[in-house]
Amino acid sequence: MNIAILFGGSSYEHEISIVSAITMKKVFKKSNLTFIFVSSDRQFYFIDAKDMTSKLFSSGDYKKRKLLTLKKGGFFVDGLFGSKAIAFDVVLNLIHGRDGEDGKIASMMTFFDIPFISPCIEASVLSYNKLYTKFLAESLGVKTVAYEYLSKTDERKITMPYPVIVKPVRLGSSIGVSIVKNELELDYALDVAFEFDTDVIVEPFIVGVKEFNQAGCYTHDWELSIVEQPHKEEFLDFEKKYMDFSRDSQVLAADIDNALKIKIQESFKKIYHPLFKGAVIRCDFFVIEDEVYLNEINPIPGSMANYLFEDFEQMVHRLALHLPKEKHIAVDYQYIHSIQSAKGKA
C-alpha cells in the first residue's frame, strides 16, 4: 500500500508533527511512503522518504523541494506540460494541533475527494476544543473531572480548591499547561496559557491519580491497543510527551485487572463510535475510586500511538480499506427546469 504522510502545518505543534512523521519511516516497513510537508505558511511540498531528516526542515532546505497543488483527487506537481499526480492510496493526516486536528485538513480532503485517515470534520471540531470534548463526553455518558472555563476577558477568579491545573482549550502536547498550587500562582499560569489561546479550562489537580491510555479504531471490527499506564511525575509535561512522538517500539500493557480494562475499553468505544470512524485515536483516562473519567481525546496522537499496537502497520492497511465515504448527491436541475417550464421558458 502507498501511504501519503501529511505533516507540518501552521501550529505550535509543527515541529512535533515533523518528529512524528520521521518516526513513521521506522514504523511502516512494508508500505511505500510518500511524504507531503505543509509549511508554516501553508504551502505543500513533496519530500522524498530518503530526505526525511529534521535538518531538512530546520535549515529551510525543504523549500528547494517540489511544490504541490491540491486539486480534485489528490496532490499534483504542476509543470510546463501539465500536472502530474502524486501516487498514493490514502493520506495519513499526521498534523498535530491547528490545521490537522481542528478540521481544516479533514474539510479539504473531503472536498477534494481524497481518501484519508483522520477524524472527520465534526470529530475534529469536538476533540480539538477541550471544552467541547467535555460536552461530548457528557452527552455519551462518559464521566470527566470537574472544570471551570475562563476566557481572556473574564475576571481571573476560580471557585474550586487548589491545587488546580490550567490548560489552553485548543492545544495539545502539554503546551501552555501549568499546575497551580495556590492563589498567588494563578495569574502567572493564566498569563502563560493565554499566550497560546484565548480560552482555558481549569481542573482539579489530583495528586497521584492513576492515568491510562487506550488507542484504537474500527475497521470491520474493533481494533483496540493495549491499555498503557504512562510513567509520570507530577504530570506529563511537554518534554516527556515530546519523547512519545518518536516512540516506535511497543510498550508493556498496564498491570490491571480485566474488569478495569473492560471499563476503559467500553468508555473508549462510546467516545469513538461512530463519530471517529476512519481515524486512529487515543483517549487518556483517569481512574478515581474505580471510576473511569475521560481526561482528553488525542485525535491525532503522537506517532499515531503506534507503540501501543502489536502490528500497527497492518491495522492501518485494514483501516484504509474501511474508510467512511461521503454520499454522492446527484444534481439533475429538475427543480430549476420545472420553474422554467412553469414560466414558459426554454
Among candidate residues 210, 207, 199, the one with its CA nearest the CA of residue 148: 199
Identify the pLDDT of residue 266: 98
From the list 81, 86, 103, 2, the residue with the least C-alpha distance to 37 is: 86
Quick check: 235 pLDDT over 60?
no
Mean pLDDT of 87-93: 97
Residue 50 has pLDDT above 60, yes or no: yes
Tell me the CATH number for domain 148-204: 3.30.1490.20
Burial class, 112, CB count within 10 angstroms (exposed 0-12 / middle 13-18 / buried 19+): middle
The C-alpha atoms of residue 262 and residue 267 are separated, in whole angstroms, by: 9
Q: Is-contact 199 169, C-beta < 8 A?
A: yes
Comparing 150-154, 244-248, 314-318, which segment has the lowest mean pLDDT? 244-248
Query: Could you write out the DSSP letters of every residue in 154-201?
Result: S-S---SPSSEEEEETT--TTTT-EEE-SGGGHHHHHHHHHTT-SEEE
Task: Please calculate the CA angle 263-265-271 and round it to the nearest 5 degrees.
Answer: 105
Among residues 320, 305, 279, which one has the least CA distance to residue 88? 320
pTM here? 0.90
For residue 172, the one-letter residue type is: G
CA dist 153 and 301 (Å) reads: 31
More confident residue, 244 or 221: 221
Amino acid identity, position 264: I
Residue at 151: amino acid letter: S
Helix (H) / strand (E) containing 78? strand 74-79
Mean per-residue pLDDT of the chain? 93
CB neighbour list of residue 170: distance below 8 Å, 6 or more residues apart: 98, 102, 128, 129, 130, 197, 199
Residue 346's pLDDT band (cuts 50, 70, 90): low
Task: Check residue 240 and give its pLDDT.
Answer: 53
Banded model confidence at residue 284, pLDDT cuts 50, 70, 90? very high
Percent of the chain with pLDDT over 90: 87
Would the pLDDT of 104 be above 80? yes
β-pairing, 90-93 with 2-8? Answer: parallel
Instruction: Give the CATH class of 125-140+209-320.
Output: alpha beta
Identify the weakest region by mean pLDDT among 231-235, 266-270, 299-303.
231-235
CB burial string 28-37: b at 16+ within 10 A, e below: beebebbbbb
Query: Looking at residue 245, what is its pLDDT?
Result: 56
Convert the pLDDT of each residue in 160-182 to its tens digit: 999 999 999 998 778 889 999 99
Is residue 163 within 8 Å of 138, Cβ to Cβ?
Answer: no
Helix 258-272 with 130-140: angle, nearest 10 deg: 110
Least confident of 122-136, 274-288, 326-340: 326-340
Q: Please check whether the domain covering 2-117 is classified as CATH 3.40.50.20.
A: yes
- For residue range 186-196, what is the model confidence (pLDDT) as tens digits? 999 999 999 99
pLDDT tens digits, residue range 15-37? Answer: 999 999 999 999 999 999 999 99
Domain positions in the chain: 2-117, 125-140+209-320, 148-204
Contact 182, 197 (CB under 8 A): no
Question: Residue 230 has which C-alpha cell?
Answer: 504512562
d(CA 343, CA 346) in angstroms, rounded, equals 9
pLDDT value at 331 more than 80: yes
Residue percentage of the chain with pLDDT more than 70: 94
